[in-house]
């Protein structure tokens, strides 16, 4: 019996084999790209970033880098070839609060994703799509850095993304700027969003990865670029306590407010324990833009050091009055949630369980895969609060800037200070007092009726014709500003109180002829008075910020570099008698 032997036609088979081989290589390449860390190919192609670097004229000054915890209108997420990096439960909660913008690579993919979200019960009225190819779902790393420039216009500072193998991600900031209709600025720094956090007051923090990846620039040049494009004049470059492959600050730290920071904590005896303590101590001793020291909160993140746990708790998302915290079902989850509740009273803290197909990792979780979009019509309040121990005064002047970006009017009688006092076990009810326009966008008001030592708690409130209502601090009453007032040593004779228009020694040596003008002031002011020998000016923390011997009856003081707020002017004559006045600096 003859056996038939089938002869394969290699000319027909080779094209199919080539397609299969190409498909396998594409999958391998995608799997390589979906590694969060810098890959071997990234290292080989690093030179492309220098070639890809772009620059443009910086924004009009002054520039503000918008903080994560400022008012937001939306969140940016991405749908990559592996789908979303976050669970539908999170997308659903985000869409119930704000607009969720989904980055997709094509109109075809947009239709597919729309159907997927509809089937999951997502509120599609609050979902929109931006079409532009993406390489990954890490929108935190490649997403836009939002700034507000000196023309009160929003913009995007577009850095060169530090992943040369993800050119589509790198191009996405320009796509988002166009999608949102905001200005676009090419920012000549290699960077990544996971290694950047700012506070809205000109302070930012990153690990020293920034300097390593911009080795062709000096530290001074990096700082200058960040000031020009982001308005950052106080940039903290820290060690990376993890000593890890990623070196992103959001893997272990997070600004919760301008004077609050959350730092991860390791078990005592862990190999990197001291590095974490060092960076926590660094911030505990650093001065905030408000002049006080940071309140450092610690969250226990043993991670792989304890039974390979995944504890990425600092990698959370602050969205208006909610905080979404990644959890993985470990015994440490509840303690982490409690840390957030203690650090951010009044906020709704929401634990988010990971997605099985794309689980949270110790260095890659919820924050890495989302990016807030600020409210472009926000009612933005900036205020340098009165904090800490204050010398006795019967009243305290409070000033703040209210910037209305909705192009609607501020409702003037809504601009108020809410305050209460606590003395021993006696807590007064919250009361309010109106603030008045001092000039430009600056408003002032008085906390009054202080008769003796006490604790004062206060917050600000305003609303505009667009319907926006804002408290400051953002959450208002649950987490107010607090300062303490020293005892009134002259409570029996109020003429001796060293408040405005009084002398510390109860002698008004030149009060009738003393003049400070203009008051409020912006760049400079003059003091006119006879007989005074010395002027000393204190901020609300009691720090001397100016002192000069006087040799004439009028002196002009330059104040353009001083933060907006209230200052105390002490004038002393040859007999040691001191007159105390207040001046308000506005911006």
- Per DSSP, the residues of 344-356 read STTSEEEEEEPBT
82 φψ region: left (φ > 0), alpha (ψ -120 to 50), beta (else): alpha
With 0-12 CB in 10 A as exposed, 13-18 as middle and 19+ as buried, what is 322? middle
Report the C-alpha gap between 405 and 320 in whole angstroms: 17
Question: Distance (Å, rounded) from C-alpha 470 to C-alpha 454?
Answer: 27
Give phi and psi for 368, each to the nearest 5: -65, -25
Closest CA to 151 of 229, 61, 57, 227: 61
Query: Which 3 state secondary structure label does DSSP give 295?
Result: strand
Residue with tokens 């729309």: 114
Q: How far apart, in whole angstroms, are the C-alpha atoms of residue 300 and residue 306?
A: 11
Query: CA Rg, the chain, in Å?
Result: 28
CA distance 221 to 226: 9
The b/e string for 436-457 (b: 16+ C-beta within 10 A; e otherwise) is eebeebbbbbbbeebeebbebb
Q: Is there a contact between 338 and 323 (Cβ–Cβ < 8 Å)?
A: no
Residues marked as catalytic: 368
Residues in the chain: 587
3-class secondary structure, 341: helix
Name the DSSP class of 144: P
- DSSP of 67-79, one letter per residue? PTTS-EEEEEEE-
* Structure-token pair, residue 69: 């915890």
Beta strands in 407-473, from DSSP E residues, in sequence order: 416-423, 426-427, 431-434, 436-439, 442-447, 454-463, 469-472
Distance, first Cα to last Cα, the chain = 102
Q: How many CA atoms lie within 13 A of 331 on its CB side?
A: 4
At residue 460's C-alpha, the angle toward residues 562 and 95, to 5°, is 110
Q: Are strands 348-353 and 322-327 parallel, antiparallel or unpaired?
A: parallel
HSE on the CB side for 64, CA within 13 Å?
Answer: 18
């Amino acid at each position: 019996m003859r056996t038939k032997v089938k002869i394969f036609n290699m000319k027909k088979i080779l094209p199919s084999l080539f397609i299969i081989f190409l498909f396998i290589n594409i999958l391998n390449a995608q799997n390589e790209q979906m590694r969060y860390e810098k890959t071997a190919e990234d290292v080989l192609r690093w030179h492309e970033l220098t070639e890809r670097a772009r620059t443009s004229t910086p924004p009009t000054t002054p520039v503000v880098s918008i903080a994560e915890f400022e008012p937001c209108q939306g969140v940016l997420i991405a749908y990559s070839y592996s789908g979303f990096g976050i669970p539908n439960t999170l997308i659903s909660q985000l869409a119930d609060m704000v607009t969720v913008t989904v980055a997709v690579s094509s109109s075809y993919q947009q239709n597919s994703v729309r159907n997927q979200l509809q089937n999951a019960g997502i509120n599609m009225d609050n979902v929109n799509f931006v079409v532009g190819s993406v390489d990954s779902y890490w929108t935190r790393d490649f997403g836009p850095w939002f700034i507000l420039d000196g023309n009160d216009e929003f913009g995007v500072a577009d850095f060169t993304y530090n992943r040369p193998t993800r050119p589509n991600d790198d191009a996405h900031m320009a796509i988002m700027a166009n999608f949102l209709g905001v200005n676009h600025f090419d920012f000549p720094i290699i960077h990544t969003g996971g290694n950047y956090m700012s506070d809205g007051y000109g302070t930012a923090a990153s690990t020293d990865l920034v300097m390593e990846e911009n080795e062709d620039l000096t530290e001074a040049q990096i700082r200058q670029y960040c000031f020009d494009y982001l308005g950052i004049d106080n940039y903290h470059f820290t060690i990376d306590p993890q000593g890890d492959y990623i070196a992103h600050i959001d893997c272990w730290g997070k600004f919760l407010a301008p004077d609050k920071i959350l730092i991860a904590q390791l078990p005592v005896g862990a190999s990197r324990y001291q590095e974490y303590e060092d960076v926590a101590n660094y911030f505990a001793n650093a001065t905030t833009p408000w002049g006080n020291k940071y309140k450092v909160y610690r969250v226990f993140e043993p991670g792989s050091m304890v039974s390979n746990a995944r504890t990425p708790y600092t990698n959370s998302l602050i969205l208006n009055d909610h905080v979404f915290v990644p959890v993985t079902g470990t015994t440490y989850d509840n303690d982490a949630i409690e840390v957030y509740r203690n650090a951010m009273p009044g906020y709704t803290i929401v634990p988010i369980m990971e997605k099985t197909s794309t689980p949270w990792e110790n260095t890659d979780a919820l924050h890495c895969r989302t990016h807030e979009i600020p409210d472009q019509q926000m009612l933005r309040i900036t205020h340098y609060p009165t904090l800490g121990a204050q010398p006795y005064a019967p009243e305290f002047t409070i000033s703040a800037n209210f910037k209305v970006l909705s192009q609607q009017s501020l409702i003037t009688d809504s601009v108020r200070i809410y305050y209460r006092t606590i003395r021993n076990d006696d807590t007064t009810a919250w009361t309010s007092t109106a603030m008045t326009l001092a000039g430009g966008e600056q408003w002032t008001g008085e906390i009054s009726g202080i008769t003796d030592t006490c604790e004062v708690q206060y917050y600000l409130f305003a609303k505009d014709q667009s319907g926006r209502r804002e408290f400051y601090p953002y959450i208002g009453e649950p987490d107010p500003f607090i300062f303490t007032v020293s005892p009134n040593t002259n409570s029996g004779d109020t003429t001796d109180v060293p408040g405005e228009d009084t002398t510390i020694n109860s002698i008004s040596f030149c009060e009738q002829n003393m003049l400070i003008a203009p008051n409020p002031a912006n760049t400079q002011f003059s003091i006119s008075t006879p007989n005074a020998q010395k002027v000393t000016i204190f901020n609300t923390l009691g720090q001397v910020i100016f002192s000069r011997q006087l040799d004439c009856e009028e002196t002009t003081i330059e104040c353009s570099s001083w933060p907006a707020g209230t200052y105390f002017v002490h004038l002393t004559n040859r007999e040691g008698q001191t007159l105390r006045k207040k001046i308000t600096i506005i911006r």
